[in-house]
Structure 1
């Protein structure tokens, strides 16, 4: 497991694809943001650094989307590929999804329809991680501080941590009339807006 926030690259992609059972020879990078997304044939491989948070997020994403696909009357989120997921290499966490190309972007009404369907679902029959606001930012600050040459000065890091603490305290005292949601839209929900295909 790693503490650095650097995204995994081509070497980790090849390792995870081999472990999952196919070649990454024709892989094409789609984007590198909070994670790296690669297109390999008709499969999207999402790679993130191997941290405890990323392991939890990957496992939760797979579990929730498979449950939704098996129980919802119509598609809410994109179902991941079958097989054991996520795949770990020691430096990367990978999940595998069907590729759904599109020429149109979903509008607000498309997203709202999916969110309404999602919120109408009963609570899932399995444990679900509690939402931790700004967790990734806090992890990034810790990772930066652990580097031999941090990108932030100590004053900058302290200012950000103080600001993060204040925002989290405000969140913790906020009342949610409809209760706090057990799930929030993810890339799988957004991707389901882009295709009329449903199911696993």
Structure 2
């Protein structure tokens, strides 16, 4: 029996699979600078694939704050909606990375990439607005030099909209991540936008 005007906490322990298809949290691949095929993981939650990743009410009107933590190989780096606030080394050598909580948002805006640190990186941060929002563009290291124009456009666009609406972007960072084999042309994840890598 539930008591009115009482807050309850529900804890659910679950396990899920990494998909081979381009939805939810899925396995992806790329060719590195040596011509080798390597794997990384990325996400595509829109419109209703978050339910394949975690227990949730997967409807846009239902929103939540997400506190993400990722256990990963030390040779990999995770990226998500928030910034990594701390890391711990586990007894088996793996790392657990804890992200800052998101703002309240719909499940389809949740994003996660886990990729080899040697092959994925970001251009240097550019700071925008009075809230010092970090604007950055990320992708495979062997195409970063091709992303400088995208970096400039991302920075100037955020600067323009901050000024035009007289409202600063509410998150501490906005990341634009080029992903090969992305389920759509682009995705407006809160704090970490994804877009398809073309022509490489």
TM-score by length of 1: 0.28
Which has more strand, going by share of residues?
Answer: 2
Compare relative contact order (CA 8 Å, sep 6+) and give the higher one, 1 or 2. Answer: 1
Which has more helix, going by share of residues?
Answer: 1
TM-score by length of 2: 0.28
